[in-house]
Structure 1
Amino acid sequence: MIVASNLTKRYPGGYEALRDVSFDISQGQMVLITGHSGAGKTTLVKLIATIERPTSGSLVVNGQNLAALRRNALPYVRRHFGLVFQDQKLLFDRSALDNVLLPLQIAGLPHREAVRRGQAALDKVGLLAREKANPIALSGGEQQRLAIARAVVNRPTVLLADEPTGNLDAASATEILEIFADFHRVGVTIVVATHDQTWIERYHPNVLRLDHGRVV
């Protein structure tokens, strides 16, 4: 499903965040990207999500080489991904439900169907009762759950996350882990960059370990 071959990302100035990275992720797997700070975890997530483009090598998702796609094709590819970032990137001038509806509005889904799916996504993460709340009124854990609801409302085949539990207390982090596990159980491919060893201890996922931009 996701196949990287000799993937390299070089930034201006010559810094190589990733070098000759190769791996294969099958549909339905849970894969953790681990490694020290600066190992290249976030860069790899951004490459898979097409937020950044590789310098060389190939990255094939569902049979499409993302490195070779034209930029005007990228928005259509991104619809297969749900993205969760550590800083959530929520819109604080909109309600929880409006935040979740945004991807569906961009996709042009009719309003009534969008609301139905948005409320269902909020229900999955335990936030349906807070649908009218502004994100500023939510706790850190609730904000992260809201970000997950927004990420899955388009029913992606791959859920990507970058340090989704990094800023949370232990109880909130456990809730987030369980939500990801629930989606994994119904066949969603999960790819998470994290320092949190609890994922490994609890769910025994496949692990892709990076060290200074290389796969260990």
Structure 2
Amino acid sequence: MIVASNLTKRYPGGYEAVKDVSFRISAGEMVFITGHSGAGKSTLVKLIASIERPTSGSLVVNGQNLSSLRRSAIPYLRRNFGMVFQDQKLLFDHSVLDNVLLPLQIVGLPRRESIRRAQAALDKVGLLSREKARPIALSGGEQQRLAIARAVVNRPTVLLADEPTGNLDAASAAEILDIFESFHQVGVTVVVATHDPHWIERYHPNVLCLDHGRLL
């Protein structure tokens, strides 16, 4: 499903965040990307999501080579992805339900079906009772669960997360990763960037370990 061959990302000034990386992630796998701060974890997630473009090498997702993908095709590719980041980018002037509805409105799903799906996603992450609240009224862990509900409401085949537990206490972080594990168990491909080895011991995912941009 996700295949990288000699993948490199070089930024202006010559800094290489990802260097000659090759790997394969099969459909339905749960994979953690680990490494020290600055190892290239976030860059690799952004490359998979086509937020960043490779400098050289190839990255194939669902049979499409992102290196040669037209920019106009990227929004359609991203419909296969659910993306969760440390900065959730929530709409604080909208309700919890409206935040989850947004991706469905973008793709033009009818209102009644959109509400049904959004409420199901909120129920999955334990926030259905808070659907009318504003995100500012939620705890940090609840805000991250809201971001997950928004990420999965389109029923993606791949769930990408970049340090999703970085700002959370241990109990909230465990709740978030338990949710990711539940999606993995129903066949979603889950890719999580994390610097915390504790979660590897708990969830036993496949691991891609980066060191200064190189895959160990």
Please tell me the TM-score bracket, short chain as reference: over 0.9
Give distance in 2, aligned partners of 1:181 and 1:96.
23
Asked if 2 retains the 8 angstrom alpha-carbon contact of 1:3 and 1:61, the reply is yes
1:206 maps to amino acid: N
Amino acid at match of 1:92: F
Alignment gaps of 5+ in structure 1:
none
Corresponding residue of 1:137: 137
Mapping of 1:35-50 within 5 angstroms? 35-50=35-50
Question: What pairs up with 1:30-109 in 2 under 5 angstroms?
Answer: 30-109=30-109
How many Å separate the matches in 2 of 1:138 and 1:182?
22
Deviations 1:57-104 (A, max 9, x none): 110011110111000000000000000000111010100010001110
Once the two structures are TM-superposed, the CA of residue 196 in structure 1 deviates from its matched residue by 2.0
Q: Does 1:15 align with 2:19?
A: no
**In structure 1, distance between residues paired with 2:171 and 2:107:** 35
Counterpart contact for 1:35–1:211, Cα < 8 Å: yes
Calculate the TM-score normalised by the size of structure 1.
Answer: 0.99
SS at match of 1:68: coil
- Classify the secondary structure of the residue corresponding to 2:166: coil
The AA in structure 2 aligned to 1:201 is E
The alignment covers a number of residue pairs equal to 216
Amino acid at match of 2:95: S
Kindly, what percent of the aligned residue pairs are identical? 84
What amino acid is the match of 2:26? S
Q: What is aligned with 2:178?
A: 178
Q: Deviation of residue 50 (structure 1)?
A: 0.6
Provide structure 2 residue ranges, at least 5 long, that are not aligned to the other structure.
none
Tell me which amino acid in the other structure corresponds to 1:147. A
Counterpart CA distance in 1 for 2:4 and 2:40 is 14
Task: Tell me by how many angstroms 1:135 deviates.
Answer: 0.3
In 2: Cα distance, 1:198 partner to 1:28 partner:
22
198-207 vs 23-32, greater mean Cα deviation: 198-207
Q: Deviations over 1:146-185 (max 9, x none)?
A: 0000000000000000001110011111110110110010
Aligned residue for 1:26?
26
Q: What SS is found at the alignment partner of 2:67?
A: helix
Aligned counterpart, 2:150 = 150
Paired residues of 1:125 and 1:145 also in contact (CA < 8 A) = yes
C-alpha RMSD over aligned residues = 0.6
* 1:195 Cα deviation after fit: 1.1
* Alignment partners' CA distance in 2, 1:22 and 1:209: 12
Normalized against structure 2, the TM-score is what? Answer: 0.99
After superposition, the C-alpha distances for 1:25-68 in whole angstroms (9 at most, x for unaligned) are: 00000000000110000000000001110111110011110111
Q: Which residue type is aligned with residue 35 of structure 1? A: G
Task: Establish whether residue 165 from structure 1 lines up as the match of residue 165 from structure 2.
Answer: yes
How far residue 198 of structure 1 moved from its aligned partner, in angstroms, is 2.7
CA displacement at 1:203 relative to structure 2: 1.2
Preserved contact between residue 82 and residue 160 of structure 1 (Cα < 8 Å)? yes
